[in-house]
Amino acid sequence: DNIAYIQVLDFDGGVAKEFKENYEKLKSEGATSLIIDIRSNGGGVVDEAIDMLEMICDNGSTLLIETDKEGKETVIKSESSPIIDVPIVVLVNGSSASASEIFAGALKDHNKATIIGTQTYGKGVIQTLMRLSDGSGLKTTTEEYCTPNRNKINKVGIEPNIVVELPEGIEELTDENDTQLQRAIEEL
């Protein structure tokens, strides 16, 4: 039914460029809607998630709010017009974390996608690594992420618009037994 499917395994360097290339290829082949699968995506580079959000969210819309320990906020806004204007479903699960939650949370807050699956992990903090003189390091939490609607992510996660569990006892997930994917197709 002309539904494009893109799985994003992590938000490591270069994923936004690769996502754009794959979307444009699928769109040129006739895709009229899109499933973005970030299930079991543990996160990665926040800027990559922001770059992907720039492709979907309206120019000037808030994408992420970072709050430091003193309560000072940094608001990150979209600086470009969206290139993706088709209906979107994002698949999430309990192993979708960090940058994945930033991505799903912004799309949910702006009603740019329907989120389907189960509650996400709940990792919404920025940690800074300080190198010590002996070569070891100390990681400290320096900031916290919130969605555009100021919903906390840390220890909360993102609640899907439509909660769908996977069937128990499945040894291998296939398109046919993937109830979350099937619900996404039904939604689109």
**Is 109 part of the annotated catalytic residue set?**
yes
Q: Which of 37, 51, 109, 178 is catalytic?
A: 109
Q: Which of 78, 100, 108, 123 is catalytic?
A: 123
Identify the CA nearest to 96 among candidates 86, 110, 107. Answer: 107
Q: Which of 37, 51, 96, 98 is catalytic?
A: 98
Identify the CA nearest to 34 among candidates 7, 54, 56, 5. Answer: 5
**Is 96 part of the annotated catalytic residue set?**
no
Identify the CA nearest to 163 among candidates 114, 95, 103, 116. Answer: 116
Identify the CA nearest to 89 among candidates 166, 15, 37. Answer: 37
Instruction: Provide the annotated active-site residues.
Output: 98, 109, 123
